[in-house]
Structure 1
Amino acid sequence: MKTLLTDGPSNLYATEMEQFGRLTGHWATQITYYPTNGSPARRVSGEWEFSYALEGRAVLDVWQWPGHEELLPAGRAPGQECGLCVRIWDPRLQLWRFTFHGTARGDVVHMYARQIDDEIVMERAAGSDLIRWTFTDITTDTFRWRNERSIDGGHTWRLDQGVSARRLR
């Protein structure tokens, strides 16, 4: 696994790698799920870890809830989530290619990502819906992330999930 993770970005595309690379490290998260049926929002704690990978040409992350401290002794239970994200800069497209693998439900999500002003926006179509995942308010020690869906071609967006993250030392 020494080949998988690395300490920093490749000199190739170093500026682009920093878009996600500034998130490298270990984060505590507060995750809020907003049900579509009008039920009250559900909140859980989790962890998110980011690292440079593949000779500094990719950024990987592992997303999980609950965090390590709250996991059940017997392992994962229904409703718990652990996922792997792979982000690779595509110099030809000038975009990030992004893949999420969610182990709890077998989800595989492919998206494209780019920086827009101070945000990192990942987008995809899911049937007739548009899905947008956005990193925002990124500082050295905090960031926010949101998962939104549009059913009207991007005219309006509904918040499905929000994350508030704080860097762990």
Structure 2
Amino acid sequence: MKTYGQFVGLWNISIRYLPLGQPERTAIGEWEFSYALEGRAVIDVWQVPPRTEVLAGAATAECGLCVRIYDPVEDVWRFTFHGPLNRRQINMIAKPIDNEIVQEYADEHGELRWIFYDIQPDSFSWRAERRPRGADAWRIEQFIFAKRAR
């Protein structure tokens, strides 16, 4: 449970979007991790902008829920991301590799990786990379920098 358990708590996040053929943009939000299923899973919820802004009248731009469950037979994490605003659901496999947590998904369009890196007790970074089917190179689509909320 240490793989994702180290993130349990509330994090303030800053996001940098790098959409192909569109201007770069930034946003702020929050990301909260918790244990679930009597400690057998780690769930997380992220929201842009932060809940305090939404409660003050701001519109939710993005929100998502991940359910992460460790598979001891395969020695991997299986998780599902739900993004209700974009009507998106992704099932991924994840595992620690060196000092990163690499989460992977593939479909008929190509491959997607979400990677936690530079993990410290009070901060971490995250990036989303995509490689279209038939392409050699990965392209970074998004960065997140997280700082533990006090």
- TM-score under structure 2 normalisation? 0.94
Higher strand share: 2
Residue in structure 1 matching 2:109, options 121, 128, 134: 128
Q: Deviations over 1:134-158 (max 9, x none)?
A: 0000000000000100125573110
- Map 1:89-168; keep pairs closer than 5 Å: 89-151=70-132, 155-168=136-149
Contact 2:108 2:133 in 1 (8 A): no
What's the Cα RMSD here?
A: 1.5
Residue in structure 2 matching 1:83, options 64, 68, 92: 64
The separation in 2 between residues aligned to 1:90 and 1:106, in whole angstroms, is 27
- TM-score under structure 1 normalisation? 0.84
User: Which runs of 5 or more structure 2 residues have no equivalent in the other structure?
Assistant: none
User: What SS is found at the alignment partner of 2:3?
Assistant: helix
1:23 and 2:7 equivalent?
Answer: yes
User: What SS is found at the alignment partner of 1:35?
Assistant: coil
Max radius of gyration: which structure?
1
Identity %: 49
User: What SS is found at the alignment partner of 1:71?
Assistant: helix
Large movers: runs of 4+ above 3 Å = 72-77, 152-155
Contact 1:100 1:110 in 2 (8 A): yes
The separation in 1 between residues aligned to 2:135 and 2:54, in whole angstroms, is 37
Corresponding residue number in structure 2 for 1:46? 29
Contact 1:60 1:87 in 2 (8 A): yes
**Aligned AA for 1:85?**
C
User: Which runs of 5 or more structure 1 residues have no equivalent in the other structure?
Assistant: 1-16
Inter-CA distance 95–153: structure 2 relative to 1 (3 Å threshold): farther
Deviation at 1:35? 1.2
Contact 1:130 1:153 in 2 (8 A): no
Count of aligned pairs? 150
Corresponding residue number in structure 2 for 1:64? 47
Deviation at 1:126? 2.7
The separation in 1 between residues aligned to 2:72 and 2:40, in whole angstroms, is 11
The separation in 1 between residues aligned to 2:134 and 2:79, in whole angstroms, is 22
**Aligned AA for 1:111?**
M
User: What SS is found at the alignment partner of 2:82?
Assistant: strand
Please say which of residues 124-133 and 47-56 is displaced more in the overlay: 124-133
Q: Deviations over 1:54-107 (max 9, x none)?
A: 111100000110002222645635xx1111100000011110001001121121
User: What SS is found at the alignment partner of 1:55?
Assistant: coil
